[in-house]
Amino acid sequence: MTLQTALSANSALIPADALRTGTRLEDYEIDCVVARSAMAMVYRAQDRRSKQAVAIKEFLPTGLAMRGDDGQVVARESSHEHNFQRGREVFLEEAKALATYDHACLMRVLSVLECHGTVYKVMP
């Protein structure tokens, strides 16, 4: 059983701070969570224009930030604000750099999104 199947089969495994199925990020619609790390959440999504499946990686460091009731990603405490913002900047810079390359050894980035107080990398 894959992680994706396990998460789909057992809603108790879906992180509480994950974007919900059907959430739209510009032209992309979230299908499900496929992975979670200490720094990011990865979703399977559909490109509503091309109808192709994509992966979307969201900068969401669990030790520094959380998703508020309004859906915005914010620092957990005011003392974490600087580190969260700096991490967000680094994630954004990396995503933009990767979007300029097309090399077999690098994860291709199709698009970079900034919304909900965080950054997203859209990948094949």
pLDDT tens-digit map of 33-57: 999 999 999 999 999 999 999 999 9
**φ, ψ for residue 111, nearest 5 deg:** -160, 155
Distance CA(19)–CA(109), nearest Å, equals 20
Q: What is the tens place of the pLDDT at every residue in 56-65?
A: 999 999 999 9
Structure token digits, residue 61: 């460091």
Sequence-ordered alpha helix ranges (H) in the chain: 3-9, 81-99
Rounded (5°) CA angle 7-13-18: 85
* The model's pTM: 0.87
